[in-house]
Amino acid sequence: MRKTQLQKYAKLIARVGLNVKKGQSVFIAAGLDQPEFVTMVVEECYRAGASEVFVEWSHQPVEKLSSNYRTLESLSEMKPWNLAKWEYKAANYSCRLFIESEDPDGMSGVDQEKMSAARRAIYPIVKPFREKIENRHQWCIAAVPGAAWAKKVFPQLPAKKALEEMWKVILYTSRADGRNPVQAWKQHNAELLSRCEHLNALGLASLEYESANGTRLTVGLMEDGIFCGGQEKTLKGRKFNPNIPTEEVFTTPKAGCVEGIVYSSKPLSYMGELIENFSVRFENGKVTEVKAEKGEELLKKMVSMDEGAGMLGEVALIPYDSPISRSGVLFYNTLFDENASCHLALGHGFNECLKGFEKLTQEERQAKGVNDSMIHVDFMIGTQDMHIVGVTKTGERVEIFKNGNWAF
């Protein structure tokens, strides 16, 4: 891959994804797969005006060893130095970047029951820091091709060629393969905003999903809920793009207001393992049954992580003819696969999808329908024949999706 194109991608992440401003600190979490590109991103952050850039490196094989050899008690303990790190970040976060590159099967074989128990133990300690950070800083998730991930996606190719092809599809689907990715994203954000404004003007009370694979689902929406997409704002009004790529227009549904069954359209990578060909049934707003050809026990653990894990926290509308879908590539990675077509998310809802959320307490937001959970897991449901009808507060039925794509 040409260095000049990678530099444009790095600039896109720093200037559009994070939108780094003068004097801001930047925290980057990245694996060891592409240190050269991470270095480019660091330089672009400094060029954008960052006062300091910190990189926290990780390595999935080491994480797997830690998961296998450490006891549950050890994994469940918040070390003093880690607590101090959370305290520092909560006080000093300006921009936070996650660069994904992990092997979708990289944690296969670990004791998922132990890992889930450890997450449940740590979450109450971390939660106050996460709430303090939420909506107060710019953040972004982007990707680089890890070697194992590239071979998973392109198993028929030699390792070097697989990496090259992976770079091509990442840049293409991220709208970063052209002469001016920053301008391309300016236009893309404008299109997503237009979709949001149209949906918000309809006054929708619920969405009804139907497709030939058996999906029959009705999702209730919050009275004061709004659709968002593309560019977002912090509470201080600073713009950023949290996901590169993104094709979604999304909202937070009303917790406890979903009925029916939905079938997955792509595999789900969760905690380093794959869950494939699965269905989720809801009654009275909660998951009552899950089935999967592969990973069913892991899926059951996921929806029982806490009280809110078995309820919806997001509905996202994405046309089936999106760039990711047109690429024909199955990424085995939620950042990309969730943007191929429509998806849902189990667990934590987004406060920013509630009108006037900044004036409400967390308890008041939950009372209005924002689900609370330690997880937020997206899974893909969009199909070529998906039909979605919106029902307005006055009972009018409006076609939202037809044959997998926007109906307006």
pLDDT category at 148 given cuts 50, 70, 90 is: very high
| Residue 225 within any structural domain of the chain | yes
Q: What is the pLDDT of residues 329-348, one digit of tens each?
A: 999 998 999 899 999 999 99
d(CA 227, CA 233): 14
Would strands 312-317 and 286-294 be described as parallel, antiparallel, or unpaired? Answer: unpaired
Q: Give the pLDDT confidence of 189-222 residue by residue, as tens digits.
A: 999 999 999 999 999 999 999 999 999 999 999 9
- Position 91 scores a pLDDT of 87
Region 127-149: what's the mean pLDDT? Answer: 93
Range of the domain at 149: 3-173
Rounded Cα distance, 13 and 242, in Å: 10
Same domain assignment for residues 367 and 318: yes
User: How far, in Å, CA of 26 to CA of 14, rounded?
Assistant: 10
Q: Does 85 share its domain with 212?
A: no
pLDDT of the residue at 271: 85
DSSP per residue over 129-182, as a string?
HHHHHTTSSEEEEEE---HHHHHHH-TTS-HHHHHHHHHHHHHHHTT-SSS-HH
Dihedral of the alpha carbons of 73, 54, 56, 244, in degrees to the nearest 10: 120
Q: 29: part of which helix (H) or strand (E)?
A: strand 25-31
Residue 196 lies in a domain: no
Q: Is 95 found in the same domain as 145?
A: yes
CA–CA separation, 57 vs 79, rounded Å?
Answer: 18
Q: Which two tokens stand for residue 369?
A: 């329908």
Q: Are residues 50 and 131 in the same domain?
A: yes
Max intra-chain CA distance, the chain? 58
**178 found inside a domain:** no
Using only C-alpha atoms, the chain has a radius of gyration, in whole angstroms, of 20
Q: Which of 132, 155, 173 is the last residue of a domain?
A: 173
Q: Is residue 12 part of a domain?
A: yes
Please check whether residue 304 is in contact with residue 310, taking contact to mean a CB–CB distance below 8 angstroms.
yes
Alpha-carbon 111 to chain mean position = 24
121 and 73 belong to one structural domain? yes
| Total domains present in the chain | 2
Residues 288 and 168 in one domain: no
Among 152, 173, 194, the domain boundary falls at 173
- Residues 376 and 290 placed together within one structural domain of the fold: yes
Q: Which residues contact 21 (CB under 8 A, 6 or more apart)?
A: 48, 49, 94, 238
Query: Is 165 among the domain residues?
Result: yes
